[in-house]
Amino acid sequence: MSGTKQRVLLGMSGGVDSSVAGYLLREQGYDVVGVTMKVWPQDCISRAEDKCCGPQAVADARNVAHALGIPHYVVDEADQFERVVIDYFSSEYQAGRTPNPCVMCNEKLKFGSLWQKAQALGCEYIATGHYAIVDHHPDRAVLRKGADPRKDQSYFLFSLRQPQLRRALTPLGGMSKPEIRDIARSLGLKVAEKVDSQEICFVPGNDYKAFLRSHLGEGEFHEGGIYDLQGTFLGEHGGIELFTIGQRKGLPGGSAQPRYVVDIDPQTNRVIVGSAEDLVSEEFEIDRVNWSSRDVPDEPIEVTVKIRYSHHGTKATLFPLSADTARIELHEPQKAVTPGQAAVFYDGDVVLGGGWICRQTALVPA
């Protein structure tokens, strides 16, 4: 790390990770400016709770900044957040896909619109408390997995492009959570024991259906029928927005084997159900591919692909179809390959890139 006083804008959520990131950056010789994004709209149902988008988060971040002796600003990004993250979240469910709002927030806000604020403050870098490593080489920046496999968040950063990665600093990448908490305790930071949020910041209690009802209104749900793979009508449903691939709950009973959602057709508002075996995929296509750490390959390459954040990763062959589309052939078939989720591909611990899983052609003719 450079010993000169380069200025860095640090995104502070009020949690222990970004707080310790501020300390580490200061120790590395950076001139750190803390910024907390106010992203909650006035009607946000999680606004009163202890969320990374709530008032308590701002107070915690401000207190930490004061303890570290760094300036702290609050930036109002509520309109942008509503448009870029919440509207995307809702419209993906309406299109029969399962969204990943954290990826969108990182790309469009934290490493996107926040850059204008960083420049206005004279900052050369944007830093976050993500558990991922960004190696800065003369010709490009390379995104890698965080050292702690249980906390690695490189998946959520796959869509960052080279200009964004080049100005990204992730000081926690080589550390584990217990190390982070130990540092926070040694500094006497009140957030040292703060519990990690395991849910989407704007969805209280992880109840996305309640959030959609409040955000969209009941009249915006696409009601329709539930069918099996033979086209047999099994019952009505209250909206395709209430289902995701692999789901078991909320389906009609009366079957000898458990039923799962295997397809959601936004054209006909049909929810298609089948057995566990029907959930298995051998290949799929992705679009809006971003090659974050290398150029677009001109021939098939072997990768390890994660089809969701909690996925362990599996070997696959990637066939580039164009600059931003590809087909992925899995060496071992996987369950619940879900349209709208990100498929992120790795070479060892290096993030090569990723894309968004496309919906296949309808399993059942309308």
d(C-alpha 95, C-alpha 122), whole Å: 41
Instruction: Confirm whether 53 is a catalytic residue.
Output: no
Q: Is 13 annotated as a binding residue?
A: yes
Instruction: List, as one string, the DSSP characters of 214-252.
Output: HHH-GGGS--EEEEETT--EEEEES-GGG--TT--TT--
Which of 53, 105, 123, 358 is the catalytic position?
105
- The answer to whether the annotation marks 31 as part of a ligand binding site is no
User: Per the annotation, does 214 bind a ligand?
Assistant: no
Residue 186 marked ligand-binding: no
Helices (H), 121-207: 162-166, 177-186
154 is in an annotated binding site: no
How far, CA to CA in Å, does 79 sit from each of 84, 113, 204?
9, 12, 20
DSSP string, 101-118: HHHHHIIIIIIIIHHHHH
Is 129 annotated as contributing to ligand binding? yes
Q: Nearest to residue 112, comparing CAs of 154, 167, 53, 50?
A: 167
18 is in an annotated binding site: yes
Q: Is 239 annotated as a binding residue?
A: no
Please list the residues that pair with 257 across neighbouring strands.
none
Gap between the Cα atoms of 143 and 157, Å rounded: 8
Instruction: Give which of 166, 167, 127, 170 is closest to 151, Cα–Cα.
Output: 170
Contacts of 161 (CB under 8 A, 6+ apart): 290, 292
Is residue 233 within 8 Å of residue 258, measured between CB atoms?
Answer: no
105 is catalytic: yes
CA 164 from centre of chain:
16
Q: Would you say 347 is a known binding-site residue?
A: no
Q: Which of 227, 230, 256 is nearest to 243 (CA)?
A: 227
> Does residue 12 have a known ligand-binding role?
yes
Residues taking part in catalysis: 105, 201
Residues belonging to the binding site are 11-18, 37, 129
Residues belonging to the binding site for ATP are 11-18, 37, 129
